[in-house]
Amino acid sequence: MTPPADETRLFECVTCGGVGIGDNRPTCCGEPMAATETGDTAVSEPSLETLLKTVFDMSGTELDICLCVMEGGELTVAALAEQIGYDRSVVARHLNHLAAFGVVEKRRRIRPEGGHVYVYTPQPPEVVRERLREEFLSWVRLATAQLDDLQREKVEAIADAKTDERQWTVFQEQ
């Protein structure tokens, strides 16, 4: 089954095995990459919650906090904690994680009565989408490297085997 031309697809370089993701045909090693077929697969479509948890290590609580900032505009940790009923330390930790992703902006504001407070404002939806997309692609690159390392470790273990003893044991839950 071939996806529509404007749909994001996967591509693979036939020379080096590099992987590309996009809506047009990328090149690698001086040649156009080959589109991969993704018809029947053992992998199920992830939910948004699964995607955010797996790729971004974002919990349900953090998603709640993110959505509240997106809807509420500029908020402090104290105001957000009171609004959603979470402990301030939990809210602060999650807001700092979201700021590191670039999903919310963290700014220090000097208070008229002295001291300072951090305020968090949402980024525009298109910025959030792009930041999450960039982080996802980084995650894919790192995950692909892990798979390559796994394959390399197995090949090296086979090559280093000096006896006929079994090198791996398959463990199954009883």
pLDDT at position 163 is 59
Look at residue 166 and tell me whether its pLDDT is greater than 60.
Answer: no
**Spans of all domains in the chain:** 1-39, 48-123
The predicted-structure confidence for 93-145, as pLDDT tens digits, reads as follows 999 999 988 889 999 999 999 999 999 999 998 888 888 888 888 888 888 77
- For residues 12 and 34, the answer to whether their CB atoms sit within 8 Å is yes
pLDDT band at 39 (very low <50, low <70, confident <90, very high): low
CB atoms within 10 A of CB 77: 22
DSSP state of 23: S
Residue 106 in tokens: 């963290």
Backbone φ and ψ of 61, nearest 5°: -60, -45
- For residues 49 and 63, the answer to whether their CB atoms sit within 8 Å is yes
Structural fold of domain 1-39: Rubrerythrin, domain 2 (2.20.28)
Structural fold of domain 48-123: Arc Repressor Mutant, subunit A (1.10.10)
Amino acid identity for residue 167 in this structure: Q
Q: Which element (helix H / strand E) includes 34?
A: strand 34-35
Percent of the chain with pLDDT over 90: 21
pLDDT at position 117 is 92
pLDDT band at 20 (very low <50, low <70, confident <90, very high): confident
pLDDT band at 167 (very low <50, low <70, confident <90, very high): low
Average pLDDT, the chain: 80
What is the radius of gyration, based on Cα positions, of the chain?
Answer: 23
Look at residue 2 and tell me whether its pLDDT is greater than 90.
Answer: no
pLDDT at position 112 is 92
Return the higher-pLDDT residue of 106 and 151. Answer: 106
- For residues 73 and 52, the answer to whether their CB atoms sit within 8 Å is no
> Among the listed ranges 45-49, 77-81, 151-155, which one has the minimum average pLDDT value?
151-155
